[in-house]
Amino acid sequence: MRRDQVRAKLRDYLHSDDVKEMTRFAVDVGVRGSMLRELRFKWAREKFEEVEFYRGLDVMRNQAAAAAAPAATPPARLTSLPQRKGEIKFTISGLDLSDPKWAEVAERTAEAEGHFVPEEAKAVEGKAKKAEEKLLAVEPRKGDPVPAMEEWKEEQRPKRVDWMALLERVMARNVELYLKVAEILLAEESFDATIRDYYKLIDLHSKANHVEDAEKIFGKMAEKGIVPDMLTYMTLVHMYVKAGNLEQAKQAFECIQKEGLQPDKKLFTSMISACINAGELKEAEKLLTKMDHLSIKPTREIYMIMMQAYAERGLADEADRMKTKKTFAGLEPTAECYTLLVEAYGQVGNRDHAKATFEQMRMNGHESLSGWYDDCIHEEEPTGPGFAVPTEFREGGS
């Protein structure tokens, strides 16, 4: 009986303010695991013994005072309480604490205090340890981890923190097995999967180019009624772009806008590059215009990508138009930009525009090899459909 009482009191002192404060300090300096658990019980025991010691002193003091003072007449006992009318009001420092809202405040405060000391995973011992070893030995491509997981669950009776600790150990051993186990846990009630768990799996599959697996996890999110966030959609767009699947990338990109989310500059750049690689230059330019409407300033690199795409397809005028848009956006054309235009006009045989662009480059202070200007600009008109810009010009102008 005495032992049970002591244990009950120790549990109370584990949640005392002094023990919580020392535990927070221990967590901050890096104490974890069994050592932290032992320290918590040690501090609770010391606090219990301190309180019992002073309580014993109070009892001895009261006994001594009672022995020295004459016996006092016992106070009259109340046989009944007066009946109150109306509501009881408690006012402290001008606050009416009888308002029901303070009960909600107290509940939220108690819940917040529960996060001061992070919950720790239970130690894995005995049969649970053997079951975990079986799980870690499963071949991810051929084996089935479910039996070992069920055995581990039966022995460990885990909460989410225990499952997370198990996943860390599995990932450290085998990433493929981790992906399989984590996917199974999405349906586990005690794991209580969140959107972060789905996103982490989608991200890992995306980096490994497992498009179908990522889509399967995304489908499970929809089945659970979980609305994807910006990070999830961005990961899908980058995955489809990387895989060369422009249509799927467009669908994911449109979903971002339908959800009222705004794509960032990195996502626009990825989509523009995908459209250019697929030969859809007009679609890429629409995205560039949309960036301007959303007050997202395109980078110098985006304009250069567009110019180079037009130049490679012999659309020198379109490349020149991109240079103009770049200038209006507050980005001064560089020597590389002018070089690209001169070469583009040269390839299509438009010598006048090539000369004008070259002169404009020199007027803006961008120096190139003067030999190219003397040999090519002032020489007679070539008889062929165009002229080729020497390699030295590209090197000198970049």
pTM of the model: 0.59
pLDDT surpasses 70 at 72: no
Sort 394 into a burial class: Cβ within 10 Å, 0-12 / 13-18 / 19+: middle
Report yes or no on 262 lying in a domain: no
Instruction: Kindly give, in sequence order, each residue whose CB lies less than 8 Å from that of residue 143, ignoring residues fewer than 6 positions away.
Output: none
pLDDT surpasses 80 at 43: yes
pLDDT surpasses 50 at 389: no
Which of the pair, 376 or 41, is modelled with greater confidence?
41
Where are the strands (E) in the chain, listed by range? 91-92, 95-96
The pLDDT of residue 398: 37
The pLDDT of residue 215: 93
Average pLDDT over residues 252-267: 87
Report yes or no on 369 lying in a domain: yes
Report yes or no on 69 lying in a domain: no
Instruction: Kindly give, in sequence order, each residue whose CB lies less than 8 Å from that of residue 240, ignoring residues fewer than 6 positions away.
Output: 211, 246, 248, 249, 252, 274
Q: What's the number of domains the chain is made of?
A: 2
Instruction: Kindly give, in sequence order, each residue whose CB lies less than 8 Å from that of residue 370, ignoring residues fewer than 6 positions away.
Output: none
Q: What mean pLDDT is reported for the chain?
A: 81
284 and 275 Cβ atoms separated by less than 8 Å? yes
pLDDT surpasses 70 at 115: no
pLDDT > 70: percent of the chain: 82
Report yes or no on 329 lying in a domain: yes
Report yes or no on 224 lying in a domain: no
Calpha distance 165→167 (Å, rounded): 5
Range of the domain at 22: 1-50
For residue 332, the tally of other CB atoms under 10 A from its CB is 10
pLDDT tier at 139 (50, 70, 90 boundaries)? very high
Report yes or no on 179 lying in a domain: no
Report yes or no on 387 lying in a domain: yes
Report yes or no on 330 lying in a domain: yes
Q: HSE-up of 107 (CA within 13 Å, CB side)?
A: 5
Most confident region among 87-96, 104-113, 262-271, 382-391 by mean pLDDT: 262-271
Average pLDDT over residues 218-229: 90
Calpha distance 253→197 (Å, rounded): 22
pLDDT tier at 90 (50, 70, 90 boundaries)? low
